[in-house]
Amino acid sequence: MPEVLSPGATIGILGGGQLARMMALAAAPLGLKCHIYAPEGDNPAFDVAAHRTVARYEDAAALARFAASVSVVTYEFENVPATTASVLAPLVPVLPGPQALATTQDRLTEKDFIRATGLETPAYRAVDSDADLVAAVEALGRPAVLKTRRMGYDGKGQVMIRPETDLANARRTLGGAPAILEAFVPFEREVSVVAARGRDGTVHAFDVCENEHRDHILARTTVPARLAPAARHAALEHAARLATALDYVGVLAVEFFVVRVEGMERVLVNEIAPRVHNSGHWTIDGAQTSQFEQHIRAIAGWPLGAPQRLGRIVMDNLIGAQADDWQTLLASPGAHLHLYGKAESRPGRKMGHVTRVFAEDVGDEPGETR
Amino acid sequence: MPEVLSPGATIGILGGGQLARMMALAAAPLGLKCHIYAPEGDNPAFDVAAHRTVARYEDAAALARFAASVSVVTYEFENVPATTASVLAPLVPVLPGPQALATTQDRLTEKDFIRATGLETPAYRAVDSDADLVAAVEALGRPAVLKTRRMGYDGKGQVMIRPETDLANARRTLGGAPAILEAFVPFEREVSVVAARGRDGTVHAFDVCENEHRDHILARTTVPARLAPAARHAALEHAARLATALDYVGVLAVEFFVVRVEGMERVLVNEIAPRVHNSGHWTIDGAQTSQFEQHIRAIAGWPLGAPQRLGRIVMDNLIGAQADDWQTLLASPGAHLHLYGKAESRPGRKMGHVTRVFAEDVGDEPGETR
C-alpha cells in the first residue's frame, strides 16, 4: 500500500498540459508540491510547479531520478507508454494503477472489461485485417466507426464507415493499425460522469454532465444533464461500478451515449478516461470540491471532499481563436475565465475554458444568488 | 500609464510568502505567469511560480534583471525598502504606486493622510524624544500605545503605556526609533474592508469583515461583520475614499475600530494595508472573485470581477501547531483547507487557513445549500 502523504510531500505528474497544470494548482492549497515530467515542448504546467523535468517518456535514467524525487506519480493522459509505467512502478507508487492504464489504453480491452462488469456498450468487433473489417461491417451494418485500439483522442485515430466508404481504404487511413469497429449508435445526447475513488474504496461522483462536441472536440458541458431519473441513477451507479472493478484510485470519467429504447432513456458506456476530464472542469468554480482537488486527495490517500454542485452550470471550452475573446469574458459578470497559458494558439487546440454558475431554478444571471 | 497586460505576460512579485503564493495561484488561471523576487529563506511562493529570483531587496543589478523580465511589479508587503522602489520605478510600472507605499509605510504620514481625507482616527501624537513622549502621554492619557512609525506588523514594534509604565523605558524598548503615541480606543470590535481599485478608478469592495485577534495576530474573520447599517455603509465608503485619494491600483485593506458614541456605532480608521490582506482570505472560497484575482486584474489593467459573497463566512487562521490538525480539517465537510507550504512551523507563524461558507440565514452546516 502506498504511504499516506503529508503536507510538504511532492507529487509527480507525467505530462505538462492543462490537466497537469490544474492538478498542480489544486495541490498547492493542500500544501503539496508538484514535479512535472514532460518532453520538450509547450508545457503550461511548468509555470505553476515546484520542480520540472524535460525528458522523453522512455528515458529510464530521467524516470528513475524523477521517481526518487516524489512520493507518488500520477498522469494527465491515458497513453502513458508501457515502458514508462514499467520503469516507474517498481520505484514509486503509480496511481491510478497499472490495471486501469492497461485496461483503458486499448479500446478492445476496455470494451471487453466494461461488458464483463455487466454494463452495456455499443456493439463492436475486433479488426486486425481487411477480412476482419468486411466481416465486422457485415455484422454491425453501416454506418459504423472504425477506431484504432490505441492512442486515439478528440476524434483522432477514427474513421466513419458510410454506405459508400471503401473498406480497405478506411483501414489504410488508420495505417493498418489494430482497430475495432463500433456500431453507430443513434444517440440522443452524450453525457459523462466524473467520479473519484479514494484508497479506502469510497466513491464520490459529481453530478451527470451533458456534453456537446464540435468537430469531435468537447465544446460545452452543462450540468445537470437532461436525463430521466432512472438513467441518471444508472450513469452514476455505472461509474462507481467501473471504478470499483478497476480498483481505481483517483478521478476517472465515464462517457455515455443516451439512447431511447421503447420510449425509455438508457445509457450505454462509450469509454473510460482514467484521469481528470474536460467535462469536469466546471467543478473548479461549480462544486464544493474540484475534480483536481479530488484527484490529489485520492492519490495522497486522503479523504475525498464533498462533490455537491453549487448551482446550474455551463462550461464552454475556448478552442483556438475563441480564447482571443478573453477581454469580453473578463468583463462578463459571473464568467469564471481559465486560460491555460499555452504559448501558441492553433485551430482545434484547447486554450482555456469559461464556467458560469447559475442559481438553481432562479433567474438566468450567473451567480445572482449563488 | 502602464500597458494593459495580455495573457502570457509575466507579473513580478516582491516577496515569497503566502500572499505572493496566493497571488500566483490566482494569476495562473488568467493566463499570466509570475516571477517571484525574494531573499534567501523559506519562500512558499517559489513552488507555484514560473520564475524565481533569490536576491536581497537592495541588490540593484538583480532588481534591474527582474524589472526587465516582467510587465509590472507588485508586492506582498508594505515595507518594501525605498531603495528597491527607487531602482524599480524608472524601469517598470510598480503597482500599487509609490504614493501608496510612501503614505502607508509610516504610521504618522498615514494617519495625517487619513485625517486629511476627512476621516476619523484615534488621537495620536508624534514621538521623537523622551520629552515628546511625556507631552503626548499628558495629552492623550493612559493607557495609550506607543508604536514605531515604520516596520511594525502583527503587534511587533509597539508597547502599551499603562499607568505604571516607565516612559523612558518604553521608548528604549522600541530602540528609540521615531514613533507615534496613539490614544487607547475602547473599541467594541475590529472590522476591516478589503477593496480593489482598478486603473479606471472603479472600486469594488468585499463585504465588511469582523476580525478577532489573539496575541496581536488575526485568529478569525467572520463575514458579514456585526455592524449597524450606517456604520457598515460608512466603512465601505471610507475604504473607497481612501483608495481613491491614494490614486490606488490593486487591493488594499482598511482596518477599523468600532466604537459606540452616544449609543451609535462609529468606525475609526486604524490602519491601511496597501496589499492583499489576511482578513480577505475567505474570498478564495466565499466570494465570486477572490481578493487575489481582483489584485491581479487591477494591476493588469483589466476590469474587476464581481465581489459578492457566496454565503456567511468563517475563516480561521492556522497558527503554528494548529496546522497539525490538517487531517481533521481535510475530513470536515465544507471546510476549505489552505496550507502555505512552509517548511518549518513556529509558534505565531501563519501556516494556513480554513474557510467555511454557510448558507445565508439557513442552517449551520457549511455548504448545505451554497
Q: If 0-12 CB within 10 Å is exposed, 13-18 middle and 19+ buried, where does residue B266 land?
A: middle
Q: Which residues pair with A8 in a beta bridge?
A: none
Which chain B residues contact residue A36 at CB under 8 A? none
Quote the pLDDT of residue B360. 83
pLDDT digit string (tens) for A78-112? Answer: 888 888 988 999 999 999 998 899 999 999 999 99
CB contact under 8 A, B49 and A48: yes
Q: What is the 3-state secondary structure (H, E, C) of chain A?
A: CCCCCCCCCEEEEECCCHHHHHHHHHHCCECCEEEEEECCCCCHHHHHCCEEEECCCCCHHHHHHHHHCCCEEEECCCCCCHHHHHHHCCCCCECCCHHHHHHHCCHHHHHHHHHHCCCCCCCEEEECCHHHHHHHHHHHCCCEEEEECCCCCCCCCEEEECCCCCHHHHHHHCCCCCEEEEECCCCCEEEEEEEEECCCCCEEECCCEEEEEECCEEEEEEECCCCCHHHHHHHHHHHHHHHHHCCCCEEEEEEEEEEEECCEEEEEEEEEECCCCHHHCCHHHHECCCHHHHHHHHHHCCCCCCCCECCEEEEEEEEHHHHHHHHHHHCCCCEEEEECCCCCCCCCCEEEEEEEEECCCCCCCECCCC
Quote the pLDDT of residue B153. 62
Would you put residue A175 in left (φ > 0), alpha (ψ -120 to 50) or beta? left
Q: Is it the case that residue A364 has pLDDT exceeding 70?
A: no
Residue in A52, A288, A292, A325 to test binding to B, most B beta-carbons within 10 Å: A288
Closest CA to B196 of B273, B154, B254, B252: B252
B350 contacts B324 by C-beta, under 8 angstroms: no
Quote the pLDDT of residue B370. 33
Which chain B residues contact residue A69 at CB under 8 A? none
Boundaries of every domain in chain A: 10-94, 123-183, 189-358
Quote the pLDDT of residue A275. 97
Question: To 10 degrees, the CA torsion angle through A355, A357, A361, A364?
Answer: -70
B145 contacts B158 by C-beta, under 8 angstroms: yes
Helix axes A18-27, A291-300, angle to 10 degrees: 70
Closest by Cβ to A288, choosing from B24, B50, B334: B334
Q: How many CB atoms lie within 10 A of CB A127?
A: 27
ipTM score:
0.94
Residue type, B307: P
User: Under CATH, which number does the domain A10-94 receive?
Assistant: 3.40.50.20
Chain B, nearest residue to A353 by Cα: B29
Per-residue pLDDT of chain B (370 residues; tens, 9 = 90+): 678 999 999 999 999 999 999 999 999 999 999 999 999 999 999 999 999 999 999 999 999 999 999 999 999 998 888 889 889 999 999 999 988 999 999 999 999 999 999 999 999 999 999 999 999 999 999 999 999 998 766 667 899 999 999 999 999 999 889 999 999 999 999 999 999 999 999 999 999 999 999 998 999 999 999 999 999 999 999 999 999 999 999 999 999 999 999 999 999 999 999 999 999 999 999 999 999 999 999 999 999 999 999 999 999 999 999 999 999 999 999 999 999 999 999 999 999 999 999 998 644 444 433 3
Mean pLDDT, range A167-180, rounded to an integer: 92
Measure A321 CA to nearest chain B CA, in Å.
13
Closest by Cβ to A334, choosing from B24, B306, B340: B306
Which chain B residues contact residue A341 at CB under 8 A? 7-8, 28, 31-33
Measure B235 CA to nearest chain A CA, in Å.
24
| B2/B95 Cα distance (integer angstroms) | 9
Topology of domain A123-183, per CATH? Dna Ligase; domain 1 (3.30.1490)
Q: Is it the case that residue A221 has pLDDT exceeding 70?
A: yes
Quote the pLDDT of residue A80. 87
Q: Which CATH architecture has domain A189-358?
A: 2-Layer Sandwich (3.30)
Closest by Cβ to A367, choosing from B288, B297, B340: B288
Do A10-94 and A123-183 share a fold?
no
Q: Give this prediction's pTM.
A: 0.95
Q: Is it the case that residue A310 has pLDDT exceeding 80?
A: yes
CB contact under 8 A, B30 and A337: yes
Q: Is it the case that residue A365 has pLDDT exceeding 60?
A: no
